[in-house]
């Protein structure tokens, strides 16, 4: 069993209250950490002031070198991190290895961006009062960043906040999910081993009281949060005068038009709907299929899902592992039951597996009414809703009926139809002939409406982790 203290300014800190980490597949305890409180947050923020001073005094090349060294160290320990991810998240070993490799790329992209933080000349003499004046702006680090991450990608989503913030010259305080704090603590240790100033990173596991202390403290300049819409709304109200970056999830849609590639759409639905047991904010949750190919698609999808291996996430051939807890399985079963009562049709699944209470059979539900939770809210489960549509206007309306707007995938060979979706769909990303679950870690990633504010991806995150300082120089005699 792994045991880890809080990491504050390079020191391991214990408290009287312990958090036990459970392996979702069996329920057994596989780790123990120590719960933080407002006191530890205050200590970490005081330490981070010195961390910011040290980080901002490093040259871009020095910050680049530390992060690149950390990326190599993570590669050397990739399998150790992957197996820890399986144990704390329940994702399959193949999914865990993929997350580690993505985290390495996020780290490398962040390191490279450290050398590209520049400014721009502003032609002040373009203004009537600007004769004889020159101007330019530079970007400087904001200071202290509070980062709060969810359970489903504890390593890479932590990396998406920590690495760009450090690349920009800030100090970071990270609160991982209380369910999955092990790999974030390991990440903090790794960064210190790579030569990061000890005061520049603190990792404090805990609950809402820790998050509140991190988001309301006046010395914090940026809050970056990934999680639920409910908590995002709370943070927005309580943060005060500081930058707030929110990634709040979705119930992403995949649209298959009548001229689209059915087989490819099925493959992308499988990849997007059932990876990490559907616990991904850009999981394929709602599929809208043109009525001409609806039956063909639904039959092909069911056959493909029937062939998925469900079970032990440590097995190399497992496709779908457990959800984070048995209570989440019960919640989703209630949602499926409600949809069926409202007229939906259960195509397959909907039941828990005998070998683990946290395993839900990959589920397909068709003809789901829009007023049900399964359609309108974020399921965060291995469940895919499949509904037909008649024309693209109806499909666009159905996609936009959600309060969320993160990413949508559209399958069509018609460039005009593709552009209709690009122009009219309310989402942060529109992917043509690709599932909505695709993400390259250096692209601008984020949503509109209740899916959040701001964009991740190292280059774009650094814009929020820096401040613009304008310089005006009067050359008039």
Residues classed as catalytic: 247, 281
Helix axes 415-424, 392-400, angle to 10 degrees: 30
Whether 140 and 195 have beta carbons less than 8 Å apart is answered as no
- Which residue in 375, 363, 398, 371 sits closest to 255, CA to CA? 398
CA 69 to chain centre: 24
In angstroms, the CA 176 to CA 85 distance is: 13
In this structure, the chain runs to a length of 477
With H, G, I as helix, E, B as strand and everything else as coil, classify residue 18: strand
110, containing H or E segment: helix 93-114
188, containing H or E segment: helix 182-193
Q: What is the DSSP letter of 454?
A: S
In angstroms, the CA 162 to CA 250 distance is: 23
Whether 392 and 420 have beta carbons less than 8 Å apart is answered as yes
Whether 343 and 367 have beta carbons less than 8 Å apart is answered as yes
Which residue stretches of 345-440 are H helix? Answer: 373-376, 392-400, 415-424
| Structure token digits, residue 83 | 């197996």
| Strands 253-256 and 29-34, bridge-based pairing | unpaired
Whether 212 and 238 have beta carbons less than 8 Å apart is answered as yes
Q: What is the DSSP string of 239-273?
A: S-SSEEEEE-----EEEE-TTS-HHHHHHHHHHHH
Whether 155 and 276 have beta carbons less than 8 Å apart is answered as no
Question: Going by C-beta distance under 8 Å and a sequence separation of 6 or more, which residues neighbour residue 258?
Answer: 290, 292, 293
In angstroms, the CA 458 to CA 160 distance is: 7
In angstroms, the CA 433 to CA 423 distance is: 16
Whether 352 and 360 have beta carbons less than 8 Å apart is answered as yes
In angstroms, the CA 75 to CA 81 distance is: 9
């Amino acid at each position: 069993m792994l045991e880890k203290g809080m990491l504050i300014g390079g020191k391991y800190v214990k408290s009287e209250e312990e958090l036990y980490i459970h392996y979702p597949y069996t329920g057994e305890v596989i780790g123990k950490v120590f719960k933080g409180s407002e006191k530890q947050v205050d200590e970490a923020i005081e330490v981070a002031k010195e961390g910011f001073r040290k980080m901002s005094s490093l040259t871009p090349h020095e910050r680049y070198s530390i992060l690149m060294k950390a990326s190599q160290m993570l590669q050397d320990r990739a399998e150790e991190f992957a197996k820890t991810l399986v144990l704390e998240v329940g994702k399959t070993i193949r999914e865990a290895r993929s997350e580690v490799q993505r985290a390495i790329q996020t780290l490398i992209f962040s390191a490279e961006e450290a050398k590209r933080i520049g400014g721009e000349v502003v032609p002040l003499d373009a203004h009537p009062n600007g004769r004889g004046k020159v101007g330019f702006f530079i970007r400087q680090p904001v200071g202290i960043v509070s980062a709060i991450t969810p359970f489903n990608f504890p390593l890479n989503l932590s990396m998406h906040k920590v690495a760009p913030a450090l690349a920009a010259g800030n100090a970071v305080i990270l609160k991982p999910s209380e369910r999955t704090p092990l790999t974030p603590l390991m990440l903090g240790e790794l960064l210190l081993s790579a030569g990061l100033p000890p005061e520049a990173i603190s990792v404090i596991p805990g609950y809402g009281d820790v998050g509140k202390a991190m988001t309301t403290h006046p010395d914090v300049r940026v809050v970056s949060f990934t999680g639920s819409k409910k908590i995002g709304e709370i943070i927005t109200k309580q943060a005060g005068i500081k930058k707030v970056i929110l990634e709040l999830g979705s119930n992403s849609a995949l649209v298959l038009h009548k001229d689209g590639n059915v087989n490819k759409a099925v493959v992308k639905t499988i990849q997007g709907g059932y990876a990490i047991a559907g616990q991904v904010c850009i999981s394929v949750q709602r599929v809208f299929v043109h009525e001409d190919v609806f039956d063909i698609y639904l039959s092909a999808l069911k056959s493909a899902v029937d062939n998925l291996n469900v079970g032990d996430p440590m097995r190399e051939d497992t496709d779908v592992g457990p959800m984070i807890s048995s209570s989440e399985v019960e919640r989703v079963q209630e949602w499926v039951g409600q949809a069926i009562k409202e007229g939906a049709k259960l195509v397959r699944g909907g039941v828990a597996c005998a070998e683990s209470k946290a395993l839900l059979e990959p589920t397909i539900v068709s003809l789901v009414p829009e007023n049900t939770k399964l359609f309108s809210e974020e399921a965060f489960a291995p469940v895919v809703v499949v509904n037909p549509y008649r024309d693209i206007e109806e499909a666009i309306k159905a996609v936009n009926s959600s309060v969320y707007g993160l990413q949508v995938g559209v399958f069509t060979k018609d460039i005009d139809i593709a552009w209709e979706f690009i122009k009219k769909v309310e989402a942060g990303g529109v992917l043509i002939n690709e599932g909505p679950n695709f993400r390259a870690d250096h692209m601008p990633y984020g949503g509109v409406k209740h899916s959040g504010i701001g964009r991740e991806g190292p280059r774009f995150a650094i814009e929020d982790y820096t401040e613009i300082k304008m310089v005006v120089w009067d050359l008039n005699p």
